[in-house]
Homo-oligomer: A and B are copies of this chain.
Amino acid sequence: MIYLDHAAATPVSQKALQVMTPYFAEEFFNPSAPYLPAKRVREVYELAKDDLAHVIGAKGVDLVITAGATESINLAFTVCQGKVLVLETEHAAVLEVAKQCSYELVKVDKNGLILIDDLRDKLSDEVELVSISLANNELGTIQPLVEIAEVIRRVRQERLRNNNNTPLYLHSDASQALNLLDLNVARLGVDLLTINAAKCGGPKGVGALYVAHGVKLRPISVGGGQERGLRSGTENVAGVVGFATAAQEAKAHLAGSRKKYQVMSRILRQELEKIGKDMNSTTDFVMPTPIFLGHPKHQLASFVPVCFPGVDAERLIYRLEQHGVLVSTGAACAANKGNKSHVLAAIGLSDVEIAGSLRISLGSANTIENVTEAASIIREEVEREYCRIHERGHHV
């Protein structure tokens, strides 16, 4: 089995699983209990939060632990009651929360990169929150967050000059990026940042929201008052310990991972580029050249989203699975419902192109060997699909 869908889920790393395990049955105490073993668990929990925060250049007290990116995003949006701007290619979690507010979509170019001028145009006086994912979950396109933050800073200053007291915050969903980019909240200039354990070798059901000092949120769940009253409920100690370990591991190996994924990505791209070239001399028809999606430069190294025009990607996924290659068409939660990708539509793909697109995403389960093998399997299967389509065309 060759897993090429790390954007959907990552296996928990050996190390993360190892450090988590004692907090299930041995050090199981409620971190708020009054005896020493529980206080030790509290310490472990707070230290893990510190460790996790350090990965993004923050402090433990700046983090609110949640049950995952979706909850973090929902919590982030409580910062405002006014208008929000979100990128048209955001994950469903951002889009659905935005729909509960007054909102407008900011456009992207054909590579999925934000159109900064569109952001500027739409940053009207009522806008209170801008939410732009750091890296898109289908394309891997990395947004120029520093530049976006600068635009926002200027608007803030302008508002100050005009005695407009409407606040303006910047939130970024960095779920896909923690694994591959060196994140620093100060450098990024964000007020709120969503991170997710399940996308970087940590366990499912754990996420965090970075909240800059002074930014006021409204809890979406109230109760015992944990997480400074912003997220009540007994702390998920094992989960947070696993998340912190996975995030630290990812950070420690950033440069190596990037290089590794660049090599793998090149193997995939070079092999897939042969489609419509090598075979054309022996076949009596021309196969379309694959279109690599996302920004050629500003893209997570692990992402190889690709369109095979005319192919039925759902069928291709099934065929690939027969050869042990696991890949998806896009966000699992969206693909699952049979919706066509709003991300691919936003970058201007036709319905046929969208229907022929795969999201290949590399990760810890990959080696040069299994990626090389997967590349040729994908190439063969795509070619086989084109031949099948061509033959069927002749029969009709």
Contacts and interface: CB of A to CB of B under 8 A. Distances in A.
A372 interface: no
Contact of A336 (B34, B66, B198): B34
A239 B91 contact: no
A24 interface: yes
A17 B24 CA distance: 7
Contacts of A333: 32, 223-226, 232, 234
B25 A225 contact: no
A73 to B, nearest CB: 7
Number of chain A interface residues as a range: 35 or more
A221 B11 contact: no
Contacts of A28: 9-12, 204
B35 A93 contact: no
A1 B223 CA distance: 30
A34 B335 contact: yes
A328 interface: yes
Q: What copy number does this chain have within its complex?
A: 2
B223 A24 contact: no
A233 B67 contact: yes
A15 to B, nearest CB: 11
Interface of A is mostly: loop
A100 interface: yes
A141 to B, nearest CB: 20
A70 B221 contact: yes
A70 B233 contact: yes
Contacts of A267: none
Given A223-B93, A224-B331, A30 B9 contact: yes
A220 interface: yes
Name the residue among A1, A5, A14, A70 with the largest chain B CB count within 10 angstroms. Answer: A70
Interface string A16-29: 01001100111011
A336 B35 CA distance: 11
Contacts of A203: 24, 236, 238
A67 B74 contact: no
A237 interface: yes
Nearest to A13: B25
B235 A204 contact: yes
Interface of A: 1, 5, 8-14, 17, 20-21, 24-26, 28-38, 66-71, 73-74, 91-93, 96-97, 99-100, 198, 203-206, 220-226, 232-239, 314, 317, 321, 326-329, 331-337
19 contacts: A8-B30, A9-B234, A14-B25, A17-B21, A32-B332, A33-B335, A35-B317, A66-B67, A70-B223, A71-B221, A74-B221, A74-B222, A204-B235, A204-B239, A205-B233, A205-B236, A205-B239, A232-B333, A234-B333
Across the A-B interface, the 10 shortest Cβ-Cβ residue pairs: A224-B333, A205-B236, A93-B223, A70-B233, A67-B67, A32-B332, A9-B30, A32-B336, A12-B24, A70-B223
